Structure formats: C-alpha cells, structure tokens
C-alpha cells in the first residue's frame, strides 16, 4: 500500500477574469477541506466517511455551487443532486431534485446505507429525508443574492449559464472573448465554468471512495438531472480507484467519464494519471470537463481540458497542492 491520498475539486472551467480575491477565497476553502480530510485520515476514518465529511463542508460554504450557494433553476428555485460510492463492494447512493435537505451528500449516503435502493429523486428523496430525520431547511437557505443576480442575467441573455458565479460588475468581459461558443447537446450556451464539488479518497487500508454534489446549471430547466448523481458518469469508485467529475454534465454522461478511468486502468493496464489523461483526451468529444482521482496504491491525479479547475490534493508522504490553472 502506498498510504492514503485525497483530492477535492470545486469545478472545472474557471473564467480567466475571475477576480484575484475570489481565486484566493477558493484556494482557502480547498485548503481547509484538505486539512479536514487529512485530519480524518490520520484518525483512521474509512475513505467513505472522509469523502462525505469533506463534501458536507463544501456544501455548507456558499462559495461553490452545491448546498448553500447552489445555482438556480429557471423558476428561481434550487434543485440539488449528489452521489457517493464506496469502492470495496461498489456500494452507492444518489439523490436528485432535492430542495430542502441541507446536505444532499449525506442523504445520498443514507440511500446507500439505509434503503434497498441506489437512487432516489424529487418527492421520493424528500420523503426519505424526512423519514431519516436529516436536517431540513427552507429552499431560501440555498439562495444567495449573487445567484439571484446571475439568474436575471441568464434570463436576459436567454441562456443557460455554466459560470453562474461571474461577478455582475464587468460581466461583459467574462467569456465574451470566446471565439466559438460552446454547445450543449448541439445548442449554444454562453460561458463555461465551475458547477460541482467533489472529493476522492483512498485510506490507509487501500479502500477508495468518491463523492460529488452540485446545484447544477444556472437557469436550467426544472427537473434537469446532470452527471453528478449518476454512478459511472460523475462519480465512480471500485477496488482500483475513486473518481469525481465536473464540467459539462451532458458530455460527462455521454462519455461515462468516471467509469472510463477505472475501465482503462483495468482493461488497458494504464496507471492512474495515464488513465485520466486518456479519458480527458479521448472520451469527451467536444465537451469540456475535468476530474480528480485516487488509486488503491495511494496515487492522486487530475485532468481537465478547459481554462482551469479548482482543485487540491494531498498524500500521506507530505505532498500537498492547491491550484486553479494548469
């Protein structure tokens, strides 16, 4: 065994005009989450507990798009989704369309541990949450003034905004320099940036786990489900590795991105970073995305094909890195 390793992300596709203060705030949050995970790993918590703990912290902070601070639907409400997977027996749990659960990742964990199912959505997920006694809040808890402003901009532009966090001041400079507009399922969108949080961990026993949580896209259609709650697309863990993805959800779904990392490791015999690089290059078609991954031997890797990705990683041998750009 190569010891424990952990990686976190706060979304891929960072706008190059993101103010330095926001970049620093993001780095501080990622660093705090890494230290939280490192402390848990040093206390011998299993990987599955650590990924839930870290993603809960990310959901509670409004900086990234999950939990408090989630992107808004076309109706101005929040619909969140999350998934978690435990590598040793490929146990998993996922939720979608959650509107009152303070920490969707913990509800996904309960689906895995306390229900006969792997995935619950909308009214069924909310009912299960009440049955399990998880902390519930009003939908307004998740809505920030900044996101209300971004939804207004999205509606004025008649567009789905990937970068719902670009400051309203100076918005005209953000993403406007892109020569060829990105498309989602063949339809143009305006700009592209973070939309998900995630964590992957391998513990000292070589057990891998992954967790991903998001509010989705700004101005998304009510009922839209992205890659984050889909096992094999946005989240995957097995005996070999744990993977969490972020970016253009529709492209990640089509490429079954997270599972592909494990598949090329298993069937092609690639190492972790080789597998990540291969999948980012060969499985996204024209989509934009990124991912973080750990292997059972204590390796950590990441990759992305867009402007940047909020990420951080650490290993038992003392290595630690937090970054945004390439």
pTM for the full predicted model: 0.91
* Residue of 274, 311, 304 whose CA lies nearest to 290: 304
Structure tokens at 165: 């966090």
Q: What is the pLDDT of residue 179?
A: 37
Residues 103, 52 contacting (CB under 8 angstroms) = no
Q: Per-residue pLDDT for 173 more than 70?
A: no
Q: Per-residue pLDDT for 56 more than 80?
A: yes
pLDDT per residue over 112-124, tens digit each?
999 999 999 999 9
Q: Average pLDDT, stretch 174-186?
A: 42
Catalytic status, residue 256: no
Going by the DSSP 8-state scheme, the letter that residue 221 receives in this structure is P
Q: What is the pLDDT of residue 231?
A: 98
Q: Per-residue pLDDT for 163 more than 50?
A: no
242 is in an annotated binding site: no
Cα separation values, 124 from 83, 221, 301, Å: 16, 20, 36
Least confident range from 56-60, 242-246, 305-309: namely: 305-309
pLDDT per residue over 241-279, tens digit each?
999 999 999 999 999 999 999 999 999 999 999 999 999
Q: What is the pLDDT of residue 265?
A: 98
Give 290's pLDDT tier (boundaries 50, 70, 90).
very high
Q: What is the pLDDT of residue 18?
A: 85
Percent of the chain with pLDDT over 70: 88
What's the rounded Cα separation, in Å, for the pair 12 and 194? 5
Q: Average pLDDT, stretch 64-83?
A: 95
Q: What is the pLDDT of residue 2?
A: 81
CB atoms within 10 A of CB 17: 15
Phi then psi dihedrals of residue 192, to 5 deg = -135, 130
224 is in an annotated binding site: yes
pLDDT per residue over 216-236, tens digit each?
988 889 999 999 999 999 999
pLDDT per residue over 89-118, tens digit each?
999 999 999 999 999 999 999 999 999 999
How many Å separate Cα 160 from the centre of its chain?
A: 18
Q: Average pLDDT, stretch 162-174?
A: 42
215 is in an annotated binding site: no
Least confident range from 67-71, 77-81, 192-196: namely: 192-196
11 is in an annotated binding site: no
Percent of the chain with pLDDT over 90: 78
Q: Average pLDDT, stretch 27-42?
A: 98
248 is in an annotated binding site: yes
Give 169's pLDDT tier (boundaries 50, 70, 90).
very low
227 is in an annotated binding site: yes
Selecting among 73, 99, 100, 196, the annotated active-site residue is: 196
226 is in an annotated binding site: yes
List, in order, residues 6 or more apart from 81 with CB less than 8 Å away. Answer: 94, 95, 96, 97, 98, 104, 213, 214, 216, 225, 226, 228, 229
Q: Please give the mean pLDDT across all residues of the chain.
A: 90
Give 13's pLDDT tier (boundaries 50, 70, 90).
confident
pLDDT per residue over 129-156, tens digit each?
999 999 999 999 999 998 888 888 878 8
């Amino acid at each position: 065994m190569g010891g424990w390793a952990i990686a976190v992300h706060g979304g891929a596709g960072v706008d190059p005009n993101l103010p330095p203060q926001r970049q620093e705030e993001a780095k501080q949050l990622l660093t705090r989450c890494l230290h939280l995970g490192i402390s848990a790993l040093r206390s011998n918590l299993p990987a599955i507990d650590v990924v839930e703990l870290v993603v809960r912290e990310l959901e509670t902070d409004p900086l990234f798009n999950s939990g408090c601070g989630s992107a808004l639907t076309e109706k101005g409400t929040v619909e969140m989704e999350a998934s978690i997977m435990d590598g040793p027996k490929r146990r998993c749990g996922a939720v979608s369309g959650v509107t009152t659960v303070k920490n969707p990742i913990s509800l996904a964990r309960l689906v895995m541990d306390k229900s006969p199912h792997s995935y619950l959505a909308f009214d069924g997920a909310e009912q299960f949450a009440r049955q399990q006694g998880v902390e519930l809040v009003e939908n307004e808890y998740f809505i920030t003034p900044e996101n209300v402003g971004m939804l207004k901009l999205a509606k004025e532009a008649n567009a789905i905004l990937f970068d719902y966090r670009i400051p309203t001041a100076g918005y005209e400079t953000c993403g406007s320099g892109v020569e060829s507009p990105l498309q989602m399922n063949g339809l143009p969108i305006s700009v592209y940036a973070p939309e998900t949080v995630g964590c992957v961990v391998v513990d000292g026993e070589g057990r891998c786990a992954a967790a991903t949580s998001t509010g989705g896209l700004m101005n998304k259609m009510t009922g839209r489900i992205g890659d984050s709650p889909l096992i094999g697309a946005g989240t995957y863990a097995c005996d070999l590795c744990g993977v969490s993805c972020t970016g253009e959800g529709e492209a990640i779904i089509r490429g079954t991105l997270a599972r592909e990392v494990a598949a090329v490791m298993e069937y092609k015999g690639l190492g972790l970073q080789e597998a990540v690089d291969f999948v980012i290059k060969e499985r996204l078609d024209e989509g934009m995305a990124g991912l973080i991954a750990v292997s059972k031997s204590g390796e950590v890797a990441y990759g992305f094909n867009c402007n940047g990705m909020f990420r951080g990683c650490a290993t038992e041998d003392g290595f630690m890195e937090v970054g945004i750009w390439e």
